[in-house]
Structure 1
């Protein structure tokens, strides 16, 4: 925080900057050999304080003072036998700031902060960092500054910010673990509110036992429409541990035994701490690493079998079209997964088509060159036929993942037929994605297969005979814009293959000009036209386009990150830019 604000202070002083290093030399020349004023952190605090006071930003000034105090680790609310120079300096500053004993005790007790205090501090830091980032962006644009940075470096940096701070539906927000070492709670109560009540329908979690007086008088820690997201939030943020007592008021949807079983499964399958993602992983499309498929947690069709006589043939037992009514026994599916950028995501599906929708979503998040997930687990919480349902879902998912990541990519007509609730569905494994089609009869079934072979890819190209290079297919990833450069034969310019967030493709042949300038202009366009670094609206876009070069290595095409010696950073883009299509036409 202090270093970021120092950069902002420098930008405010520009072009009349005076670096701290020069200040140190000047003070040494002036005879200040022994002085706390020569301490680097004290000098940074002094310069940042002057800047924030000049612009009358008392909010961030108070925050940076608290950060400085915590950084020094001199707990002034506790007596010390000896008083060193650091404690003397901090005591002088605290007195100057007018802090009382209550504030000192609160800061000195940081090791015991729980989720409310930590989340408040986390949001304060994030707001301040985003404000600094916006100010630095505006400064760079105003002065038309550029830096020597490769697209790969920029891509890694923006992905780190995206993975850490982007707030998305279903994404589990991880509170900064460095603020407090222990967020565990002795009690957690999960309460479900059904439709038609004053509060929103869904699940609420409280950090206390289910005494209604204490529940009513306190705000919930977190809300979500689905239980899976709340359990994941509590587990990955460290509130939920093996020592936590669980309580639930589930209105018959989920009981305590089912909740405890789910928590145990999640805890066993997902380790809390993993190594940080490598730069290579951050620059590459994200891949699912650990996946849990949670079946019938909130809606269990087999619960209707209780005290009933159910007629079915063991020889034709199909959990997706069960019994005479051909009912699907999969009522709800929750996905919980961690990807290669260390993001934790959740998704929920319910209804008779939950299995189809979940399967399509899982496969859509796997590009063809992706490594298989490190682990895929199916957790089933049905009252009846639990083992059978779990095994069948596990088999189906494994088979479809194998088809998606199969090396036989030349066969664009690969498909999987699945009968759900008495209806036949076809999953078509196309080059860039997986599509699903309902098949009413045999003629439609085989017609869809032949259509898929001929029209497996929707692409805007110059002629109907041009196809994307196969190596591009393997790198296609949903959710990001990807540019692939390919040098044309006989020095006839270069080709550009562009995949948008939905893997729709555009191809531009024999482009002229500089790739470096094109990358810079495209990056500027996305940086300026999507300038959405506003945390208050929970909408921060760090996912800038990614650039690659197709190269020939020993007769085989490979994709490598596009590199250049000097290129303007995307985040330091300046000026107004035209639409992407017009820029590309300029280079074509």
Structure 2
């Protein structure tokens, strides 16, 4: 529509005729009355009763009526007198109500409107009622607070009647200036002034109070609205107290298209069918040159006496504008989706015979006939409540394409208007994340298909089919092997947990669903599958939550994390094939029995994020636990809040102990290790089977390494630990190795000596001043000489190194026995006081040069006599041993111990453990010679 204008004052004078104005007003009043009558006919009984009652509730303050606050609450609607039917409706809900008719000295409330889809083709039993209440601008703060309280109470009453009612309190000036308040999930706020006013003028129904002055400004005076409306008032063509002026809908700014598209996209995932039509309207309005606003088309038809309500229906005005645009653009597939969206929005089922005919049905029938839809399309759409996953997947794909296209259009618009993007950066970020979380496909992410498309996807029965080489699949209904291949699977997956998580997230699987299992895997069972399904329900209750804007305004956080262990796996299968059965009192599932079997052979990880995403990941074999630990750290390293974590195991082999064991490890990591690793270097050691795994954090970066056995572990532990580093043994690992007792004595800057008798040997542990731990093992022998030799060795070596470094000597080494107490299996720690050694027992010392072969550079001293390869030949070790034996007072052939060691060319700051490791090698050579 093109509007031409000359001098605005001259144009404003044209057509100012009281008779014409009266006719126009009468026409608008009649259209308003007809729309209200249409609304009553289409509304549910309680909804219609509430609409009739609303003006009365605002007009009076009566303690018996809904919404009562007090007698001082602003009330009294301009130009309103309740009808007899309205008064009877009041008496119906409040028998004590009596209406007292009296002249009000002032009207606190100017007008009451319904707006939106109300009374249109798009209104259905699920539609909300949006009410605009216009109040006088000079209300006090307390009066306004009381009015807001009344609005909340009336909305609550409506909710009790099964009606969603939203009341927006505004002044005339607030509407005119666009100060509608903040944007919410139900209201587009002040960011869409012209769009909202445009929607108001074409959809509003006046329930009571002053009429909009906009009615009386002819469409040809569209560009002269301010001048024309001023003449109407100043020349008293209309009385100011009978009208309310919200202003005109002029050119809609780019910022409003941007904001409108942004808002509709945010709503689209909750109400996609409603949003796709509004999103297309945003595109229509964003064209260049811009088309006339729909409210102007609406007004023009009334001015031209085209008052048939079908031609004025707000939803049809939108639809026809969108239809023209999409046909011009050649987007027929999108047009078909929008037609389905409009049809579903009405809630009318044309394939079914009506009990009574109504205007909405007749109007929709005309549209469908124009669209040329076959009856099969109507039947499919009318069965929406019975749609199953296949239909929903297809529908979601089309909706996703449209929503992603609108998002791309918005991003392109943002690039062209960088100022808008900057102003709305937070909203854009939230939108991108919302679309990403809901629509983006990624490996391991469980796709959720039902974007409010169908009300119930649950299946009464499902059959899980597992094929070892082809993964698994799920079928609708109960089947046996003979029926396989006759029905297309609902979903295929490589993993059972991923398949169950998909059926759970999409709500195919309910607590009433019966399950069947067909599997080639002898370790799989129906009982296990049913238990896993129950665990999913208990830990991730349906429906899975969608993300709030607050959550999307921050990076995604893991909220819930479940470990499903050994799904479809028998960890003792190899032993069973060999005809062996492992029974042991050593019940640690991570190192079970005397052979230390690792019973955790598969971990399925399922986690839910604060963005509403459900993910899965799988880990297999002996690497399952370390790989899971690395994944756990990667998921949680950036977040402060601890997620809820639960370990599950439903296998027939030691399920509870396996789950509890992994739960213990995870809890220790979450509550102790991970928080500590954010502030200091940490080494965390865990026993897995016959070997060990170490997680090490340096500057919050995690590295992971494995060792095959205790020997390799001890070589790790023999390296000094930096003072700031925390060495943490997993609880059961530490107890099994007695390391918890050793490291609880850890005091950097001191030496500790520990020993224990184990069957036919003696273990000596030295924990040095740098927290390096060395293990030396001896055959079971006399203890006193051994400990005295060790004490003397540690004192000699450490004192020498401290002198060279210019540091004071270390305290005398502490000595502890690791022993069982009172027949208990748990090891205890007992301190010992050692007496100084006799000269004969520590008469052997050695020296060597670092970096040279040991036998080549080694020199031994037995009192004053020296032995070396150069001076004594190949048997110099035997000669030195024989000399030691000759000097002993006792004839026993207990091992030869080194009482001192000098190593040249080593740094001054090397720790005592370095000398201990060299002592160990030299003693092995000497005792080999002794034997």
Aligned pair in 2 of structure 1 residues 42, 351: CA closer, same or farther (>3 Å)?
A: same
Task: Return the alpha-carbon distance in structure 1 between the equivalents of residues 661 and 409 of structure 2.
Answer: 55
Deviates more, 1:136-145 or 1:36-45: 136-145
Instruction: Write 1 or 2 for the structure with the bigger share of helix.
Output: 2
Q: Secondary structure at the match of 1:24?
A: helix
Q: Which runs of 5+ in 1 are unaligned?
A: 196-200, 455-588
Task: Return the alpha-carbon distance in structure 1 between the equivalents of residues 494 and 723 of structure 2.
Answer: 39
Q: Secondary structure at the match of 1:365?
A: helix
Partner of residue 289, structure 1 = 559
Matches within 5 A, 1:18-167: 18-138=292-412, 140-141=414-415, 146-147=420-421, 149-167=423-441
Deviation at 1:57, TM superposition (A): 1.8
Deviates more, 1:137-146 or 1:261-270: 137-146
Deviation at 1:16, TM superposition (A): 2.9
Equivalent of residue 327 in structure 1, options 597, 601, 604? 597
Q: Secondary structure at the match of 1:415?
A: strand
Deviation at 1:442, TM superposition (A): 3.3
Q: Secondary structure at the match of 2:437?
A: helix
Deviation at 1:80, TM superposition (A): 2.0
Does the 8 A contact of 2:677 with 2:700 survive in 1? no
Task: Return the alpha-carbon distance in structure 1 between the equivalents of residues 720 and 366 of structure 2.
Answer: 78
Does the 8 A contact of 2:505 with 2:544 survive in 1? no
Does the 8 A contact of 1:8 with 1:136 survive in 2? no
Provide, for residues 199-252 of structure 1, a one-character-per-residue CA deviation record: whole Å limited to 9, x for no partner.
Answer: xx2011111222456531322111110000100111121111122221111212
Aligned pair in 2 of structure 1 residues 328, 146: CA closer, same or farther (>3 Å)?
A: same
Aligned pair in 2 of structure 1 residues 90, 430: CA closer, same or farther (>3 Å)?
A: farther
Task: Return the alpha-carbon distance in structure 1 between the equivalents of residues 396 and 705 of structure 2.
Answer: 45
Deviation at 1:433, TM superposition (A): 4.7
Deviation at 1:89, TM superposition (A): 1.3
Task: Return the alpha-carbon distance in structure 2 between the equivalents of residues 446 and 104 of structure 1.
Answer: 78
Equivalent of residue 238 in structure 1, options 492, 504, 507? 507
Q: Secondary structure at the match of 1:435?
A: strand
Does the 8 A contact of 1:353 with 1:420 survive in 2? no
Q: Which runs of 5+ in 2 are unaligned?
A: 1-275, 727-931
Equivalent of residue 569 in structure 2, options 269, 291, 299? 299
Partner of residue 281, structure 2 = 6
Q: Secondary structure at the match of 1:428?
A: strand
Task: Return the alpha-carbon distance in structure 2 between the equivalents of residues 9 and 379 of structure 1.
Answer: 54
Task: Return the alpha-carbon distance in structure 2 between the equivalents of residues 102 and 451 of structure 1.
Answer: 77
Equivalent of residue 344 in structure 1, options 601, 614, 624? 614
Deviates more, 1:71-80 or 1:430-439: 430-439
Q: Secondary structure at the match of 2:436?
A: helix
Deviation at 1:23, TM superposition (A): 2.5
Equivalent of residue 656 in structure 2, options 387, 397, 419? 387
Partner of residue 693, structure 2 = 425
| Greater RCO, CA 8 A, separation 6+ | 1
Deviation at 1:361, TM superposition (A): 0.7
Q: TM-score, normalised by structure 1?
A: 0.70
Deviation at 1:46, TM superposition (A): 0.6
Task: Return the alpha-carbon distance in structure 1 between the equivalents of residues 306 and 696 of structure 2.
Answer: 75
Does the 8 A contact of 2:430 with 2:552 survive in 1? yes
Task: Return the alpha-carbon distance in structure 2 between the equivalents of residues 63 and 17 of structure 1.
Answer: 23
Task: Return the alpha-carbon distance in structure 2 between the equivalents of residues 435 and 37 of structure 1.
Answer: 70
Q: TM-score, normalised by structure 2?
A: 0.45
Partner of residue 256, structure 1 = 526
Task: Return the alpha-carbon distance in structure 2 between the equivalents of residues 2 and 453 of structure 1.
Answer: 61
Partner of residue 444, structure 2 = 170
Partner of residue 681, structure 2 = 413
Q: What is the aligned length?
A: 445
Matches within 5 A, 1:490-529: none
Deviation at 1:155, TM superposition (A): 2.0
Deviation at 1:438, TM superposition (A): 2.6
Does the 8 A contact of 1:303 with 1:382 survive in 2? no
Aligned pair in 2 of structure 1 residues 129, 277: CA closer, same or farther (>3 Å)?
A: closer
Partner of residue 402, structure 1 = 671
Aligned pair in 2 of structure 1 residues 253, 425: CA closer, same or farther (>3 Å)?
A: same
Task: Return the alpha-carbon distance in structure 2 between the equivalents of residues 89 and 414 of structure 1.
Answer: 72
Provide, for residues 61-92 of structure 1, a one-character-per-residue CA deviation record: whole Å limited to 9, x for no partner.
Answer: 11111111011112111222432222121111
Task: Return the alpha-carbon distance in structure 2 between the equivalents of residues 442 and 360 of structure 1.
Answer: 23
Aligned pair in 2 of structure 1 residues 369, 125: CA closer, same or farther (>3 Å)?
A: closer
Aligned pair in 2 of structure 1 residues 216, 409: CA closer, same or farther (>3 Å)?
A: closer
Partner of residue 444, structure 1 = 716
CA RMSD across the alignment:
2.6
Task: Return the alpha-carbon distance in structure 2 between the equivalents of residues 350 and 103 of structure 1.
Answer: 48
Aligned pair in 2 of structure 1 residues 22, 296: CA closer, same or farther (>3 Å)?
A: same
Partner of residue 360, structure 1 = 630
Q: Secondary structure at the match of 2:484?
A: helix
Q: Secondary structure at the match of 2:434?
A: helix
Does the 8 A contact of 1:366 with 1:404 survive in 2? no
Aligned pair in 2 of structure 1 residues 452, 36: CA closer, same or farther (>3 Å)?
A: farther
